[in-house]
Amino acid sequence: MKHPTYSARQSQLFTKTRKEAPKDEVSKNAQLLIRAGYVHKEMAGVYAYLPLGLRVQNNIKEIVREEMEKIGGQEIIMTSLQRKELWEKTKRWDDEVVDVWFKTELKAGGDIGLAWSHEEPIADMMKNYVASFRDLPIFVYQFQTKLRNELRAKSGIMRGREFVMKDMYSFCLDEAEHTRFYNSTIEAYKRVYERLGIGADTFVTFASGGAFTQFSHEFQTIAETGEDVIYINREKGIAINEEVLNEATLKELAITRADLEEVKTAEVGNIFNFGTQKSEDLGLFYTNDKGEQIPVWMGSYGIGITRVMGLLAEKFSDAKGLVWPEQVAPFRVHLVELQSDNVDVRAEAAEVYRELTEAGVPVLWDDRDVRAGEKFADSDLIGIPLRVVVSEKTLAAGKFECVHRQGGRVEHKSMSELLGQLTA
């Protein structure tokens, strides 16, 4: 993945690392992200994304965006304010059906909802653009802030009351066309998780649709701190959420309970088949080649962007801090300058910074006037993949000390060798 060509000086970051996380923060991902200066906790389940955190979030988005575009997705952005009457048509305004609504009143009168999902508004919008069979299929997606009044919000950014989601919606002529796109989305999601570094631990899981549909498919990633339990058969690639694990499901999948391994997981994506019910409820029809009015087939496809970020922080970390995969890291190189009072060291660090940045390699330059031990501890905590050290010692040797955050492997490279490695 190509990162944006942008570098920064650490002395100019307004954020600071912390030795301790807030006492009321119990989740590993939020503890690490707060300590390293990626997020700020506003309240339980609500976090602000700081410069480092926003860069990680944007890198995850770009991977998802590329894969959604490959299968024909067109990016849009919808409003977070939603009309009560739309959701009443599908019976999902009722708090007994959807228990995570945030609702408010307009000063001019009337109730509105704050978006927890977007099926109804997007389907209603499509009535303006779908008339004939020639107008279909349509696939649209967005990166949107969702608001859900979660009862439990103790999992950091993995379960928030406010979070960023990629939600995509498909509008098809019939079940066959819908099924083709549904299956292509499964493959696209697999590519996303592979690129994020969690493909081997992520399973397409048969699950309940909850407030969406009767059944759905979830994408569950093995994680010790996950909130879900699924049952997997690695050989057959089968995974079942515990909420739908019963004799009927086992029979349908042609397996027995003894064939399954129980694992703890975190949900990182889900897909739903709505059929034509929602279109019928909302009046979304097209005219076929015989002049008949036919309801549109709908599907919904979500990836929790900030949830994935939290999961990566959980899975890719150690006792020292975060260990970001290169494809999502905020920068590719952490340039650590030691002995800042030495003008030759400062000049050499400035030259490395310039050359890497001009070559399109994003660099965070630690140009602060602090002790070497503090710089190294902060570098480990922040978790950028490659640390390049410039010091009096490296000047004398004619090569930089290059430390890989994953595994701690140390190499010594000249400027040309370093550029060659990073731009290959």
- Alpha carbon 306 to its chain centroid, in Å, reads 5
pLDDT tens per residue across span 170-186 = 999 999 999 999 999 99
Whether the Cβ atoms of residue 33 and residue 156 lie closer than 8 Å to each other: yes
- Alpha carbon 251 to its chain centroid, in Å, reads 34
Query: Confidence class of residue 4 from pLDDT cuts 50, 70 and 90?
Result: very low
- Look up residue 50 and give its amino acid: L
For 108-112, what is the mean pLDDT?
A: 96
pLDDT tens per residue across span 366-378 = 999 999 999 999 9
pLDDT of residue 3: 45
Whether 207 shows a pLDDT value over 90: the answer reads no
Query: Confidence class of residue 381 from pLDDT cuts 50, 70 and 90?
Result: very high
Percent of the chain with pLDDT over 90: 85
pLDDT tens per residue across span 25-35 = 989 999 999 99
For 99-115, what is the mean pLDDT?
A: 96
Long-range contacts of range 356-359, CB-CB < 8 Å, 24 or more positions apart?
A: 356/7, 356/418, 356/419, 356/422, 357/5, 357/7, 359/419, 359/422, 359/423
Would the pTM count as exceeding 0.85?
Answer: yes
pLDDT of residue 286: 98
User: Domains, the chain, ranges and CATH?
Assistant: 13-318 (3.30.930.10), 333-423 (3.40.50.800)
pLDDT tens per residue across span 59-77 = 999 999 999 999 999 999 9
pLDDT of residue 249: 84
Between these two residues, 145 and 152, which has the higher pLDDT value? Answer: 145
For 279-283, what is the mean pLDDT?
A: 96
pLDDT of residue 211: 43
pLDDT of residue 237: 84
For residues 399 and 393, what is the distance between their CA atoms, to the nearest angstrom?
9
SS3 letters across the chain: CCCCCCCEEHHHCCCCCCCCCCCCCCCHHHHHHHHCCCEEEEECCEEEECHHHHHHHHHHHHHHHHHHHHCCCEECCCCCEEEHHHHHHCCCCCCCCCCCCEEEECCCCCEEEECCCCHHHHHHHHCCCCCEHHHCCEEEEEEEEEECCCCCCCCHHHCCCEEEEEEEEEEECCHHHHHHHHHHHHHHHHHHHHHCCCHHHEEEEEEECCCCCCEEEEEEEECCCCCEEEEEECCCCEEEEHHHCCHHHHHHHCCCHHHCEEEEEEEEEEEEEEECHHHHHHCCEEECCCCCEEECEEEEEEEEHHHHHHHHHHHCEECCEECCCCCCCCCCEEEEECCCCCHHHHHHHHHHHHHHHHCCCCEEEECCCCCHHHHHHHHHHHCCCEEEEECHHHHHHCCEEEEECCCCCEEEECHHHHHHHHHC
Between these two residues, 214 and 397, which has the higher pLDDT value? Answer: 397
For 104-110, what is the mean pLDDT?
A: 96
Task: Report the DSSP pairing between strands 202-208 and 400-404.
Answer: unpaired
Task: Report the DSSP pairing between strands 317-318 and 202-208.
Answer: unpaired
Q: Which of 333, 421, 311, 345 is nearest to 382 (CA)?
A: 333
For residues 322 and 109, what is the distance between their CA atoms, to the nearest angstrom?
48
Whether the Cβ atoms of residue 352 and residue 401 lie closer than 8 Å to each other: no
Task: Report the DSSP pairing between strands 202-208 and 162-172.
Answer: unpaired
Lowest model confidence (mean pLDDT) among 2-16, 128-142, 367-381, 393-407: 2-16
Burial of 20 (0-12, 13-18, 19+ CB in 10 A): exposed
pLDDT of residue 82: 96
pLDDT of residue 5: 59
pLDDT of residue 214: 53
pLDDT of residue 325: 96
